[in-house]
Structure 1
């Protein structure tokens, strides 16, 4: 994952802290602006998960802290940050907006007072109210409440010029599912709704945020204008030499891979400390051998004119003691053992099948694994 720190001033000149999540080659198909939920931050786990999942699908995402939250400067009580409601209100002022997504968004921001249990009497007397959210204390000014109550969500939604995707959980205990129904009814077509089923308001379970990200990326793909690939564009040095890039973050073992322009994910099983969000490195190794084996057999059969249909390769890997290997020289160490099973379909005779099994040992990846390999490591300055 390619994450860049960004700052920009708000209307009062205060610096807003942000992160830009980019594909590894820094050539996104589209850009997304992520407005987080009330009193949350750009570093909320669900925000990070969705942003990174979208960037792995070549959608760059700018996630930022609203004024006075997270790493941003300013006074939170002097601003408002209602995520989905904010982007709905702002969309009409951004003509390049193609698609909008709301996640657990309130329909009417004016309901904030009731949702937070803010006393009308206290606000009228002091001009502000103090509320506790998620164990943290926040000051809410009367000006903020007055601004929210002046919003006209129905009229705002009717003016939308972009496609809309509404995502909400029927079990949301903070913002009820009826808000999603109201947003959907008020908005013009094209519009879609996806239920987040059993997730909570903040999509605390990583599986829920991963699901949401996948659905958003698939849905948004219908509205993206893909670039013309007939004319090569300027390509960064990292991509010109076609290197595979792997980036492992500090939280767990989840690794973002970028190979020949294709995003992949690697991870470790839960019992090994990972999140099981993708194949393990050894499983990718077996996948490479399996793919290379199948391709090699198909290429050989085509050259021979043999009626080979499908090739299925099943592989497993384990560590064994060298003493259990009759062809091993050193008997006091453990070695890697890969078992490969071939399933070949087609009108082939016994001699042809035997020959294809022999040819499987000639696939380039097989030769790499069984040959002498040198790995040179250099440390790149940061």
Structure 2
């Protein structure tokens, strides 16, 4: 996955800057993530869900609303109507950049915002909410009566929520009175996913019931069981991310292979050599190699470990793909090499990270290097690892195994 800064003009005319997470390969669609009231674009839910969607081939923009006091609009008062306008402005800017969003995902108050914003975004094919309130009046209880009185009297006032001060405007209160979330979703007529925890102490599960009942089919509900409102536990955030990605895939174009596999490989056979605990003879057609584990874990250290073999496949595919592309474009690539390292990353789902370091030799221009690097992210093995695969297993009987081992 690659990430870049995406800048656009907000509904109020100020400049906002967000993170655009691009999927590897040709995107199947684009999405916008709207954060919760006390969060920002870099909250755990925002990051995990954006990256899960990116792995599924969906590019995601996540940005801080102008009134959060986090992003480019720092100092502006919180105003729900302006949040909705920011979403529509972001969608317009993405469309103008050739990335029209077809999915909106919102967390907490961001969930209510995407419901309202989607009404005027006909290209949005689906909407997903996480812990969203069914009415904006629910938010007012966090301000306290003293805060509400100050806002009404002064036009805006600072209120403390979750240990942070927020400048809240009278316009926010006006929006609370004027916006009917349930009516908005009833008129939406788009696929809707409602995700909520029955243990949510901030926005009760009854809000999810109201949103779900107001939604038109096709609609789906997924319980987040033991999660808290902010999805602070990595396992909960990972689960929510996986569910959104799987659900959204039904409403977007299918993934397509950017680069076809050059040649269909023969089957690979791994057989124990009975030398040491792990040593294997690995064969494909006329080619063979030894696989093993390091001596530190009981092997003989005589060959590639299983994950080294996977890394080797990624490294080889990367170099071959870059070579094919460079030759086709006539780029002066003299030699390419790729180093791939594999590690398990705690709290990341899936937990496997392959870090790829590429070296390109030759009198290449900066543009040529950038284009070769971009094509590396689209090699078939890379996309297979990113998007996942189907693995099926069957057991051969004794007679079948004997037939399979007999020379042709």
Segments of structure 1 that go 5 or more residues without pairing to the other structure are 266-277, 279-290, 295-308, 312-343, 357-382
Q: How far apart in 1 are the matches of 2:76 and 2:256?
A: 43
Aligned to 1:335: none
Structure 1 counterpart of 2:158, from 115, 122, 130: 130
CA 1:192–1:138: 2 relative to 1, 3 Å: same
Q: Which has the higher contact order (CA 8 A, sep 6+)?
A: 2
Of 177-186 and 214-223, the range deviating more from structure 2: 214-223
For residues 275-308 of structure 1, the C-alpha deviation after alignment (integer angstroms, 9 at most, x for no partner) is: xxx9xxxxxxxxxxxx9xx9xxxxxxxxxxxxxx
Q: Distance in 1 between matches of 2:401 and 2:217?
A: 59
8 Å CA contact 1:256, 1:263 repeated in 2: no
Matched, 1:115 2:142: yes
User: 1:56 touches 1:263 (CA, 8 Å); kept in 2?
Assistant: no
Superimposed CA distance per residue, residues 354-374 of structure 1 (whole angstroms, 9 cap, x where no aligned partner): x79xxxxxxxxxxxxxxxxxx
Summarize the Cα distance change of 1:350–1:183 in structure 2 as closer, same or farther, 3 Å threshold: closer
User: More helix by proportion, 1 or 2?
Assistant: 2
TM-score scaled by length of structure 1: 0.64
Cα deviation for residue 114 of structure 1 reads: 1.6
Equivalent residue number for residue 369 of structure 1 = none
Give the Cα–Cα distance (whole angstroms) in 1 for the partners of residues 190 and 339 of structure 2. 35
Which of 399, 403, 407 is equivalent to 1:347?
399
Structure 2: tracts of 5 or more residues without a match? 84-108, 261-317, 326-336, 356-376
| CA deviation string 1:207-227 (max 9, x = no partner) | 111111111111112211236
> How far did residue 71 of structure 1 move?
2.6
Give the match's secondary structure for 1:222: helix
Match of 2:110 among 74, 83, 102: 83
- When residues 162 and 126 of structure 1 are mapped into structure 2, their CA distance, relative to the original with a 3 A threshold, is same
Residue 385 (structure 2) aligns with: 264
Distance 1:151 1:248, change over 3 A: farther
CA deviation map 1:111-165 (0-9, x unaligned): 2112332433333322233222232111211121112221022321111121000
Tell me, yes or no, if the aligned pair for 2:136 and 2:176 is still in contact at 8 Å: yes
Query: Which has the higher Rg, Structure 1 or Structure 2?
Result: 1
Structure-1 residue corresponding to 2:300: none
Residue correspondences, number: 280
Q: Which residue of 1 aligns with 2:33?
A: 34
Aligned pair in 2 of structure 1 residues 172, 348: CA closer, same or farther (>3 Å)? closer
What is the TM-score when the length of structure 2 is the normalising length? Answer: 0.60
SS in 2 for 1:189: coil
